[in-house]
Amino acid sequence: MVRRHELTDQAWAVIEPLVAPSRMGRPVRDRRQVLNGILWKLSTGAAWRDLPERYGPWKTVYERFRRWSADGTWDRLLSHVQQHSDAVGEVDWSIVCVDSTIVRAHQHAAGARKGGPWTGEALGRSRGGLSTKIHLACDGQGRPLAFTVTGGNVNDCSQFEPVMARIRIKRRGPGRPRTRPVRVVADKGYSSRKIRAYLRRRAIACTIPERVDQISGRLRRGESLCRLDRGVYRRRNVVERCFNKLKQNKALATRYDKRARHYKALVTLACLRLWLPADIADRP
Residue 119 lies inside a defined structural domain of this protein? no
pLDDT for the residue numbered 121: 86
Residue 132 lies inside a defined structural domain of this protein? yes
Average model confidence (pLDDT) across the chain = 86
Number of domains composing the chain: 1
Q: What are phi and psi of 99, to 5 degrees?
A: -165, 180
pLDDT tens-digit profile of 51-104?
Answer: 999 999 999 999 999 999 999 999 999 999 999 999 989 999 999 999 999 999
pLDDT for the residue numbered 281: 43
Residue 1 lies inside a defined structural domain of this protein? no
- Per-residue pLDDT of the chain in tens (284 residues, 90 and over written 9): 567 788 888 888 888 888 756 554 444 558 889 999 999 999 999 999 999 999 999 999 999 999 999 999 999 999 999 999 999 899 999 999 999 999 999 888 876 555 445 557 888 887 778 899 999 999 999 999 999 999 988 999 999 999 999 999 998 878 889 999 999 999 999 998 899 999 999 999 999 998 877 777 777 777 776 778 888 999 999 999 999 999 999 999 999 998 899 999 999 999 999 998 754 444 44
Residue 73 lies inside a defined structural domain of this protein? yes
Identify which of 172, 153, 10, 184 has the alpha carbon closest to the alpha carbon of residue 80: 172
Residue 264 lies inside a defined structural domain of this protein? yes
Rounded distance between C-alpha atoms, residue 201 and residue 221, angstroms: 24
pTM: 0.89
Rounded distance between C-alpha atoms, residue 159 and residue 57, angstroms: 39
pLDDT for the residue numbered 211: 82
CATH of the domain at 198: 3.30.420.10
Q: How far is CA 215 from the centre of its chain?
A: 32
Residue 3 lies inside a defined structural domain of this protein? no
pLDDT for the residue numbered 280: 42
Are the beta carbons of 147 and 136 closer than 8 angstroms?
yes
Rounded distance between C-alpha atoms, residue 75 and residue 87, angstroms: 18
Residue 72 lies inside a defined structural domain of this protein? yes
Torsion, Cα 16 172 79 189, to 10 degrees, reads: -150
Are the beta carbons of 5 and 39 closer than 8 angstroms?
yes
Are the beta carbons of 208 and 121 closer than 8 angstroms?
no
Residue 118 lies inside a defined structural domain of this protein? no
To 5 degrees, how large is the angle CA 137–CA 143–CA 147? 35
pLDDT for the residue numbered 2: 65
Per the structure, the complete domain to which residue 194 belongs is given by: 9-113+124-281
